[in-house]
Structure 1
Amino acid sequence: MDFALEPYEEAASSSWLICNTCGTQFPTADRSAVKTCYVCDDPRQYVPPTGQSFTTMADIRASGHVNEFDAYKHDDRVTSIHTVPRFAIGQRAILIRTPHGNILWDCITYLDAETIDKINKLGGLKAIVISHPHFYSSHIQWARAFQCPVYTSSEDLRWTTTPSAHRKPLTEIETDILPGVKAIKLGGHFPGSSVVLFDGRLFTADTLMATPAGIGKWDVDALGGKREKPPGLNSFSFLWSFPNSIPLPADEIHRMWGILKAYNFRSTHGILVGMDIEDEKIKDRVLESMKIQTRAMGNGYDRLI
């Protein structure tokens, strides 16, 4: 390791405050010190009608939450980890097992001894990579528990809450995390929003948001007969704010494609369990979706090639 390892102090951190809406952990138990979550105060997020509220890791454990592990049916090297009952945003983390060690793509808030034990039995973690600030959650506690670095984009460091030597800023558009695993900064949703590419699989979180039309099964009809996917359906959307439905400008979508078009991939894996698309033509569907969105906004879809 090229940094000083920090202890995972489970007992102390279990009383730290956690935003109920986005799952971000703040390194204090003092409720008078944290009265609002600045992640949720940003116009990309929201505070619910019930108002701002906080919990703790200890309270989440006491409420009966558990983390479920679901192996991906098309590739047993890929395992989704998500908290049940759903907590905060409800995203999944994805464990990617490689010959050179395991990567955790994105992070969830809830961490317990059972989760640590399960991941260690699968080989532990060599690194954690997080797509964007909405999933920063309790990532420093995960990094300390597994004694590994956690990579976040340099552009988005101001959204972090806990200083740590375990955090490593991604400063380049492309970074090799391990042999065969690349973190790629596309921007869009946040300036440093990223994806990870492993063996033709693109892990997207909501940097590219898979849509219901994208996930839907269009190749058969109600009687089991073959059919073609109807024209004009998008597979992904590109938004500055997903909960508040604010789209990205066309120029930003063009810029993202200028980076992504250099890479080949045959599947995408999105924010939630089940948001997986297996299709040898999925890269074409990303481009098609970008054209559909920019055309709908009346801007330069013909510049996307």
Structure 2
Amino acid sequence: MLICSACAVEREEPVPDLCPICTDERQYVPEDGQQWLALEDLATAGQQTVLVDNEPGLMGIRTQPKVGIGQTAQLVMTPAGSLLWDPPGYLDADMVGAVLERGPVLAVAASHPHMYGVQVEWSRQLGGIPVLVADADKEWLGRRDGSVNFWSGTATIADGLTLHQTGGHFPGSAVVHWAAGAEGRGVLLTGDSVFPNPDRRSVSFMRSYPNHLPLSGAVSLRIAAQLDELTFDRIYGNFNNVIPSAAKTVVRNSAARHAAWTSGDFDHLT
């Protein structure tokens, strides 16, 4: 198994010359190229994983220095066990131990293929737990394993912890609804299915974030309507970017704004 230096998604050998995920229009191959790396090489170079306290029951996990896209994974802890969401493209024994110290892990899942990381490797190190992959995105899976389980629509991990397929960024793009988060007001973990913006007062709906390719207004409204059925007050994105409160209103208003801009309602401002 090797990982792509640009996106850090694992792939079985023999690997292609270029990473299929990075050559897709939603991502890119860096100007200085893309290489295939072994986890052992990263460990030798001093790669580390770091825990981040987000709120009670929610820990972030990031690589230092960043590997690939550099997402912050989320470990959601419930009385029944944990979910590892958007797993990084690197792991080490210390972090595996730190995760297991916080209770059994029920599953690994990613919001979309850019966030697959080394999901199968995490599964194996955590005891062969299920890797949940959206059926609509299975063509992007670079490493097959008996732990991989395909799902669509919704998937319940534990009481109050559910995956919801939103589509948009990828057909299988998903979010996690954690009912107990934000002191019981509810949390969404969205990856970049819905992206919390730097102003912390709006979110984005994009087919490609690095290449600035928007989704249609109709899709943004569809996603917002689907999420409006859930109870949540806070959002965490895939870089630990946060909408700290009133997140449901933020999603609703952001989708309406996105739809208005893409339909030409604000062309007079340009």
- The answer to whether the superposition gives a TM-score over 0.5 is yes
What's 2:11 paired with? 26
> Structure 1 residues 250-259 or 97-106, which shifts more?
250-259
What's 1:191 paired with? 171
Q: Which amino acid aligns with 2:35?
A: S
What's 2:136 paired with? 155
Report % sequence identity: 31
Cα drift, residue 48 of structure 1 = 0.6
What's 1:210 paired with? 196
What's 2:256 paired with? 291
Please identify the structure whose Cα radius of gyration is greater. 1
Give the number of aligned pairs: 259
Within the alignment, does 1:240 sit opposite 2:221 as a pair? no
Task: Compute the RMSD of aligned alpha carbons.
Answer: 1.5
Relative to the length of structure 2, the TM-score reads: 0.92
Cα drift, residue 201 of structure 1 = 0.7
Cα drift, residue 17 of structure 1 = 2.0
What's 1:257 paired with? 224
SS in 2 for 1:61: helix
SS in 2 for 1:126: strand
Gaps of 5+ in 2: 180-185
Match of 1:41 among 1, 23, 27: 23
SS in 2 for 1:202: strand
**8 Å CA contact retained: 2:225, 2:252:** no
**8 Å CA contact retained: 2:52, 2:61:** yes
Cα drift, residue 300 of structure 1 = 8.4
Gaps of 5+ in 1: 1-15, 215-233
Within the alignment, does 1:101 sit opposite 2:68 as a pair? no
Match of 2:243 among 277, 280, 284: 277
What's 2:64 paired with? 84
SS in 1 for 2:46: coil
- What is the alpha-carbon distance in structure 1 between the residues aligned to residue 113 and residue 124 of structure 2? 19
Within the alignment, does 1:177 sit opposite 2:144 as a pair? no
Q: Which amino acid aligns with 2:203?
A: F
Relative to the length of structure 1, the TM-score reads: 0.82
SS in 1 for 2:60: strand
Cα drift, residue 212 of structure 1 = 1.1
What's 1:223 paired with? none
- What is the alpha-carbon distance in structure 1 between the residues aligned to residue 225 and residue 236 of structure 2? 21
* Partner deviation per Cα, 1:154-210 (whole Å, 9 max, x = no partner): 100000011112111112x22211111010011110001000011211101101111
Please list every run of at least 4 consecutive aligned residues from structure 1 whose deviation after the TM superposition is greater than 3 angstroms: none
